[in-house]
């Protein structure tokens, strides 16, 4: 992965990260809580460069800071990795609906892998349940997102996991106003969470919901 200090700040057709930070800063400055007492790690994270702009030393410093913060907060050692895109490799995504039994193991495996098990637990995968024979393709919103049978698969139902499809030309990347999400050369769509402003434009742009 090529990382240069002189690489220009990621820009957007909507507005820049600098604009977002400027507005956020003024908003924070107006809060009743005096921010001068905030610890240094807050400001380090707030003004952190985009991952693709950082050089190796800057990335190393961020990793060390995060591992120290997590140890202080949770009392456990964390090993944070920044695995680069694999050269000569192109990942793809495939799904065989005939083999899905609705067990949701993929959901909880994803929760664990992405360290989202703490409250509020975040699920990046949703498994939908449909009755066989219904015209489900017309409106996925009619599917059941929450079901709790004693056993799966259930007679008369089939299931469809909905998750990131790792699109060849991902619309979420185009929609993100701060370029917090991008596609790596090996095909994986990734996110720099420090640059996400929570606008949900990526969710609105995603054709898979």
pTM of the model: 0.65
Which are the contacts of 170, defined by CB distance < 8 A and separation ≥ 6? 181, 183, 189
Higher pLDDT residue, 138 or 162? 162
Q: What is the pLDDT of residue 13?
A: 46
Q: What is the pLDDT of residue 90?
A: 92
Q: Chain-wide mean pLDDT for the chain?
A: 79
Lowest-confidence pick of 56-65, 116-125, 130-139 = 130-139
Q: What is the pLDDT of residue 47?
A: 58
C-alpha closest to that of 51 among 195, 197, 175: 195
Q: What is the pLDDT of residue 45?
A: 66
pLDDT band for position 201 (50/70/90)?
very high
Q: With the C-alpha atoms ordered 56, 115, 79, 93, is the resulting torsion angle positive or negative?
A: negative
pLDDT band for position 195 (50/70/90)?
confident
- Helix, strand or coil, per DSSP, at residue 144: strand
106 and 138 Cβ atoms separated by less than 8 Å: no
pLDDT band for position 3 (50/70/90)?
very low
What's the average model confidence in pLDDT over 133-147?
75
**What are the tokens at 151?**
């056993």
C-alpha to C-alpha distances, 194 to 143, 147, 180, 190, nearest whole angstrom: 33, 34, 8, 12
Q: What is the pLDDT of residue 128?
A: 92
Alpha-carbon span 15 to 23, nearest angstrom: 11
Q: What is the pLDDT of residue 137?
A: 56
Domains of the chain: which residue ranges?
Answer: 17-84+171-205, 97-162
Element at 159 (helix H, strand E): strand 157-162
pLDDT tens, 78-134? 888 888 888 999 998 889 989 999 999 999 999 888 777 777 777 889 999 998 877
Q: What is the pLDDT of residue 136?
A: 59
């Amino acid at each position: 992965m090529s990382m240069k200090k002189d690489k220009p700040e990621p820009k957007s057709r909507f507005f820049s990260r600098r604009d977002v930070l400027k507005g956020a800063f003024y908003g924070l400055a107006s809060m009743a809580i005096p921010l001068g007492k905030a610890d240094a790690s807050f400001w380090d994270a707030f003004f952190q460069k985009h991952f693709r702009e950082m050089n190796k030393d800057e990335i190393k410093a961020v990793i060390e800071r995060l591992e120290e913060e997590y140890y202080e907060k949770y009392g456990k050692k964390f090993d944070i990795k920044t695995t680069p895109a694999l050269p000569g490799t192109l990942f793809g995504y495939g799904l065989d609906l005939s083999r899905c039994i609705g067990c949701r193991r993929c959901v909880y495996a994803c929760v664990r892998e992405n360290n989202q098990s703490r409250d509020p637990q975040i699920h990046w995968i949703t498994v939908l349940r449909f009755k066989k024979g219904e015209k489900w393709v017309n409106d996925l919103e009619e599917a059941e997102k929450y079901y709790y049978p004693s056993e799966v698969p259930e007679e008369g139902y089939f299931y469809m996991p909905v998750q990131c499809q790792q699109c060849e030309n991902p619309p979420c990347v185009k929609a993100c106003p701060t370029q917090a999400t991008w596609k790596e050369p090996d095909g994986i769509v990734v996110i720099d969470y420090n640059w996400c402003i929570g606008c949900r434009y990526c969710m609105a742009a995603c054709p898979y919901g």
